[in-house]
């Protein structure tokens, strides 16, 4: 039979301390000062969110401007390439006609 002195009091003592600190913690977390702190922290988070959203909007606008500029550059480049290819094609046709005329003579 187990004696009262054989009981390991460490585990029940830790449990009792946990209950005590838990109860004190709940009281501290539900106090007026704690609620004021939570309110101020929440307000700060909302301000930070607003700042981040402004930055995101600015970045999105800049990305749109950059995208439109890139499309415009590519369109100009394609038009220049097409004009270059047309000029090269005309030059080749002219050279071929000149060669044909000289060989016929």
Residue 68 has a pLDDT of 94
> Per-residue pLDDT averaged across 60-81, rounded?
93
55 found inside a domain: yes
CA distance 13 to 24: 16
pTM: 0.43
2 found inside a domain: no
| 3-state DSSP assignment of residue 48 | helix
The structural domain count of the chain equals 1
23 found inside a domain: no
Give the list of residues 6+ apart from residue 62 with CB closer than 8 angstroms, or none. none
94 found inside a domain: yes
pLDDT band at 72 (very low <50, low <70, confident <90, very high): very high
Token look-up 């700060």 returns: 44
Cβ neighbours, 10 Å, residue 66: 10
CA distance 45 to 100: 81
9 found inside a domain: no
16 found inside a domain: no
Domain ranges, residue 61? 32-104
pLDDT digits 0-9 by tens, 29-49: 788 888 899 999 999 999 999
Distance (Å) of CA 10 to CA 5, 6, 37, 46, 60: 13, 12, 36, 46, 60
10 found inside a domain: no
């Amino acid at each position: 039979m187990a004696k009262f002195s054989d009981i390991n009091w460490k585990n029940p003592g830790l449990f009792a301390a946990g209950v005590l600190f838990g109860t004190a913690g709940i009281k501290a977390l539900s106090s007026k000062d704690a609620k004021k702190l939570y309110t101020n922290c929440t307000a700060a988070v909302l301000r930070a969110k607003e700042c981040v959203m402004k930055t995101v909007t600015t970045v999105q606008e800049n990305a749109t401007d950059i995208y439109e500029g890139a499309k415009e550059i590519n369109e100009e480049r394609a038009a220049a390439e097409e004009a270059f290819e047309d000029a090269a094609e005309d030059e080749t046709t002219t050279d071929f006609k000149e060669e044909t005329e000289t060989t016929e003579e």
